[in-house]
A and B are shown apart, each in its own frame.
Chain A
Amino acid sequence: MSFEDDFVEDDEMNMIDEDVASDSEAESLSDSDSENEITEKLAEPTKTAVYNRDGLLDKLQDISWPEDVDWTHKLTVEIEQGQAVDVNDDLAREMAFYTQALEGTRQAFEKLQEMGLPFLRPADYYAEMVKSDTHMEKVKSKLLYEKKQMEEAEERRKARDNKKMAKEVQSQKMKERAKQKKDEIESVKKWRKQRQQSGFSEKGAGELDLEFGNGKSFQRGGGKKRPGVSPGDRSGGKGKPTSRMNNKKREFRDSKFGHGGRKGLSKQNTAETTNDFKGGFRGGKAGGNKRQKR
């Protein structure tokens, strides 16, 4: 049996050590200990543990205050405990403590109210608090931060869901459109076959009505109007508006470096430009660079 003795001793302190099994309680509370091998020990050590009940009672009598002391001195409340709480279940344990405190406060407040003593802090009573104001600021900022994180996460999730939905809807629409297109083509083909079969007779006009569009006028591209497509715009109207705004810059750069940008040769002094100290590309350089790749 190992004997490890590290406490403040007096002569009568005997530590009982069992290396057979140690207590699950002690280990469940000490931070990093192993939970696997440790089992609860029961009967063995209790036999050798000192339990001097009379001595304890004596001491209790010694130190306790007189029996008839006013309750306001002690301010203690005893609360009935419900069922045994599992130590390792954090939430349940904290709930139990919380309910105990809550019950206790209720009872105490009722008593105090009967006695007519003030017990709640008025809103205008300012005094030193146990945590400083700066600390409470930190707490507040942390709470706000957490709330913001949660909200952002929510928003992100919602956006994701919306996108999914939108994607589905879009795919549906595409399918529909494709189907419609196919149908229309089919109908044209049918009409042509009909015409062929009927020998290209001149009458035909009445039979067209069924298939074509039901009064809808035919427009190329499905009739979608894209905003503000200028005739000089070669991107087909699909380009971003900003790209048109940066057009001038793009044009200038294209003319200077050729379409595709500057390749290399970033320092290019020609005979004429070596003596230009004023940042001479302000008008003279464009087109004057013979070495640039085109």
Chain B
Amino acid sequence: MGKKRKHSETESAAPPKKDDSAPERPKRTLLGWKDKTQDAEEPKPAPEFRNKEKVLVTCSRRISFRYRHLMLNIVSLLPHCKKDSKVEAKSSKGATLNELVELKGSSSCLFFECRKHKDLYMWMVKSPSGPSVKFLVNAVHTMEELKLTGNHLKGSRPLLTFSSNFDKDVHWKLLKEMLTQVFGIPKEHRKSKPYHDHVFAFSIVDDHIWFRNYQISVPHNEADKVARGGLDKMTLVEVGPRFCLNPIKIFGGSFGGPTLYENPFYVSPNQIRALEKRNKAGKFAKKIKAKTRKKMHEISNPLEPDEFADMWKDDE
């Protein structure tokens, strides 16, 4: 399964290039099965490292069309993912989902949960013991929107760009690592395509993670060289989808566990709606109060009798 190699193992494996240094199986590298003396070169620092990331993508029932399309878009963007059928509402508790992830043999999971047909929450979970994050998803634009005109190869590996404030704080670093692992396609994945023609942009603005996907269009002739000055003529066309993630909580376990981080600025959409309603409810009361105030004011300051009030009364 997707068991990540710990640091200790890499250290022990690096100097001797023996088959049985790795715990699982004889390591297979690009050059074939690993033999004894073989490479004099040490360019591949962890030669046995293979990104065996597999993502399971599921959603809850009663998900609305826009969010379902978003999920399908993400499925098409990540060839190393596996889409599963909807999970029952009751079973969106930790244990069942954990079992599902284990069953499918994936190393991480993206679970889309839609509540009240309005709010979309996304869980990003590393299995089996990894941290999990719950996000509130906003500002969703799917790839089907006609204003997003770009297109790229299905399964080509994206370039991931992160804004520098991902390194400002620990929880952002953790999120950056998780995003890299989930959204970055493994190098020699069998469904991946060779060229890099799109780029993901993750930025933190206003404590939210904004995601954008652009197609790279450069005038070029050869596949591995850009024409001189070609880099300046590079344009990006947006492919989509677009969404904005608001981290709510980070847990130590998968789909649960001790809370490692809580977003202090997060307000649940229910609360926002409740607040709005309360404000609206107050309007009528305020109006009544204003009326009574006006009456009191009029009583306490009576108007002087108007001298012209009777002017027209005589001419009927």
Residues on A close to B: CB < 8 A?
Answer: 2, 4, 6-8, 10, 12-13, 15-19, 22-23, 25-31, 33-34, 37-38, 41, 45-46, 49-53, 55-57, 59-70, 72-81, 84-85, 87, 93, 96-98, 100-106, 108-110, 112-113, 116-122, 125, 127-131, 135-136, 138-139, 142-143
Contacts of B270 in A (CB 8 A): 4, 6
A113–B196 CA distance with the chains assembled, in angstroms = 12
A153–B256 CA distance with the chains assembled, in angstroms = 58
**B227-265: contact bitstring with A at CB < 8 Å (1 yes, 0 no)?**
000010010100100001010111110011111111111
Q: Are B130 and A63 in contact (CB under 8 A)?
A: yes
Contacts of B260 in A (CB 8 A): 50, 52, 55-56, 59
Nearest chain A CB to B24 CB, angstrom units: 15
Is there a chain A Cβ closer than 8 Å to B15's Cβ? no
Contacts of A139 in B (CB 8 A): 146, 149
Is there a chain A Cβ closer than 8 Å to B45's Cβ? yes
**Which 9 A-B residue pairings sit nearest by Cβ, starting from the closest?**
A104-B161, A68-B45, A118-B223, A49-B264, A29-B138, A10-B256, A46-B264, A101-B201, A22-B267
Q: Are B208 and A29 in contact (CB under 8 A)?
A: yes
Q: Are B225 and A113 in contact (CB under 8 A)?
A: yes
A121–B222 CA distance with the chains assembled, in angstroms = 8
Contacts of B51 in A (CB 8 A): 65, 73
Nearest chain B CB to A37 CB, angstrom units: 5
Is there a chain A Cβ closer than 8 Å to B105's Cβ? no
Q: Are A74 and B131 in contact (CB under 8 A)?
A: no
A10-B94, A106-B231, A119-B223 in contact; A27/B272 too (CB < 8 A)? yes
Nearest chain A CB to B199 CB, angstrom units: 5
Which of B178-186, B288-296, B297-305 has 4 or more CB atoms under 8 Å from chain A?
A: B178-186
Q: Are A120 and B223 in contact (CB under 8 A)?
A: yes
Is there a chain A Cβ closer than 8 Å to B34's Cβ? no
Is there a chain A Cβ closer than 8 Å to B160's Cβ? yes
Nearest chain A CB to B221 CB, angstrom units: 9
Q: Which of B141-193 contact A (CB under 8 A)?
A: 143-144, 146, 149, 151-167, 170-171, 173-174, 177-178, 180-181, 184, 186-187, 193
Interface residues of B toward A: which range?
35 or more
Q: Are B195 and A120 in contact (CB under 8 A)?
A: yes
A108–B195 CA distance with the chains assembled, in angstroms = 13
Contacts of A112 in B (CB 8 A): 196, 224
Most B Cβ at <10 Å: residue of A27, A33, A59, A112: A59
Nearest chain B CB to A52 CB, angstrom units: 5
Q: Are A101 and B162 in contact (CB under 8 A)?
A: no
Q: Which A residue sits closest to B119, measured CB to CB?
A: A30
Q: Are A10 and B257 in contact (CB under 8 A)?
A: yes
Q: Which A residue sits closest to B267, measured CB to CB?
A: A22
Q: Are A97 and B210 in contact (CB under 8 A)?
A: yes
Q: Which of B57-85 contact A (CB under 8 A)?
A: 76-77
Contact of A37 among B155, B231, B265, B275 (CB under 8 A): B275
A127–B177 CA distance with the chains assembled, in angstroms = 30
18 contacts between A and B (CB under 8 A): A6-B116, A18-B267, A27-B267, A30-B138, A30-B269, A33-B272, A56-B250, A72-B187, A75-B160, A75-B196, A78-B164, A100-B201, A105-B161, A113-B225, A118-B223, A119-B195, A125-B195, A131-B239
Q: Are A98 and B214 in contact (CB under 8 A)?
A: yes
Is there a chain A Cβ closer than 8 Å to B31's Cβ? no
Contacts of A57 in B (CB 8 A): 170
Contact of B262 among A8, A49, A68, A120 (CB under 8 A): A49
A66-B7, A116-B224 in contact; A105/B199 too (CB < 8 A)? yes
Q: Which A residue sits closest to B156, measured CB to CB?
A: A121
Further contacts, 7 of them, CB under 8 A, given A66-B5, A66-B49, A128-B153? A8-B94, A38-B272, A63-B130, A65-B4, A67-B7, A73-B49, A118-B224
Q: Are B239 and A130 in contact (CB under 8 A)?
A: yes
Contacts of B226 in A (CB 8 A): 109, 113, 120
Q: Are A49 and B46 in contact (CB under 8 A)?
A: no
Q: Which B residue sits closest to A29, measured CB to CB?
A: B138
Nearest chain B CB to A170 CB, angstrom units: 45
Is there a chain A Cβ closer than 8 Å to B92's Cβ? yes
Contact of A13 among B153, B184, B259 (CB under 8 A): B259
Is there a chain A Cβ closer than 8 Å to B194's Cβ? yes
A77–B184 CA distance with the chains assembled, in angstroms = 12
A18–B271 CA distance with the chains assembled, in angstroms = 9
Contacts of B248 in A (CB 8 A): 7
Contact of A25 among B161, B203, B207 (CB under 8 A): B207
A135–B143 CA distance with the chains assembled, in angstroms = 10
Contacts of A25 in B (CB 8 A): 206-208, 246, 265
Contacts of A85 in B (CB 8 A): 205
A19–B193 CA distance with the chains assembled, in angstroms = 50
A33–B256 CA distance with the chains assembled, in angstroms = 30
Q: Are A10 and B151 in contact (CB under 8 A)?
A: no
Contact of B223 among A26, A61, A122 (CB under 8 A): A122
A31–B243 CA distance with the chains assembled, in angstroms = 13
